[in-house]
Structure 1
Amino acid sequence: MTIRHKPNPQIPASFQRFYLSFQAQKDGYLQGYRPFIGLDGCHLKSPYEGILLCSIAIDANCGVYLITLGVVETESLDSWRWFLEFLYRHVGVYESREVCFMTDCQKGTIPTLAEVWPNYNSRFCGRHILQNMMSRFKVDYLTIQFWHAANSSNLPEFLEAMEAIKATSEAAHLYLTRIPLESWTIHKFDTICKTDHNTNSVVEAFNSWLNKFRTLPMLTLMEKVRQKIMK
């Protein structure tokens, strides 16, 4: 834990950020989990508000595994940099593999990863890409074609799905081609982390797991997290 002393003793102390990860979580990830980490943030529902940030790994059976947890005042470039710097110091410096990060393109995640994590690649959540495409081009009927393209395990299937999208909406097709293929379609994924996840469902599952505790005060919330991890 890092404690930042307030620079002016005349200013009342106030809570800003909190970072939590036990040694067992670190050891478990480094010794037995895939080099795949999902990142996400969700709003706390207590009177004090704030954002809960987390990093989630998966095991050989695709089970959800919490590596680190943090609470910040808002989701921003600065708060993500703070969180990811701690994550790198906690597990990244011991990680010799290339790590794949799954994100929803949150504020600051990709630029910060480029700064603090030397050996990584990234994927974008397919549901997030689809939602942006649908809201921008009003093409709800392209959902099936999009998932055909995203889930294609080989190039011919992918090209066929993309042609179907282009025939329906050239604008949507152009939008997808501008997103790096290795970040959203399975046939272009790296082969190091051994998983074809193309959504951030592992993090959403964790957020759902914690949902009933998000109204609690900060220390009570963290104690509930500790108890659930122990179980």
Structure 2
Amino acid sequence: MIELVGVGKSYGPIRALHDVSLKAEAGSVTCVLGDNGAGKSTLIGIMSGLHPHTSGSLLVDGKPTVFSSPREALDLGIATVYQNLAVIPLMEVWRNFFLGSELTAGRFPLAGMRIKEMKRVADAALRDMGIVLADIDQPIGTLSGGQRQGVAIARAIHFGAKVLILDEPTAALGVKQSGAVLKHVAAARDAGIGVVFITHNPHHAYLVGDHFVILKLGSAVLDARRGEVTLEELTAQMAGGDELEQLAHELGRG
């Protein structure tokens, strides 16, 4: 659905990403792992249309593409859920769900919002994701972090996302809330969405991932399907196995 082939991104003499390849396939979760400074944010920016790549190719449904804006990516069905979620905490859940895409009746500037319909649609979409709220009118800021992530994912799917890019969705969550988000990721995958799951947590990645790419200093150091790598190998690569062994030796703990 979306594929990067040898993609790179440079800012003048600074090379943020070099020769990275990955693809998001329907009904599959591609996990991109890496520490701070690995190039994950640059990768998200390229796939979401925030900035163009400077080398390699980006293919959407097999066609070479260079996005001029995030709106262009979204129009092609590529939705990004950022870590900050871009929600308005004091606004009702249903209003956040339809934010910027409200259903209206009549013509501008006298058009009114179809509030009952929006509440019904939002509630049904959330229930499909396993989120049952006692009151769809409650401020979204009163929901847990996992529930807010679920609302953002359900919103993207409802508005036609074919590819869902998730930016560190479990980074600031506890164990229980992270588990809820991973269930939402699995639900999106089972709905036929191609998911790109950006994370620094190999345990979370391995629970839902079908394909794993590890970035280090802008380059891919591992590219493997689920059956080709174990959780232990994934964790060791993320932790910098060789570097840790060398450090243990230097500290006299090897």
TM-score with structure 2 setting the length: 0.32
- Whose helix proportion is higher, 1 or 2? 1
Question: Greater relative contact order (Cα 8 A, min sep 6): structure 1 or 2?
Answer: 2
- Normalised by the length of structure 1, the TM-score is 0.34
More strand by share: 2
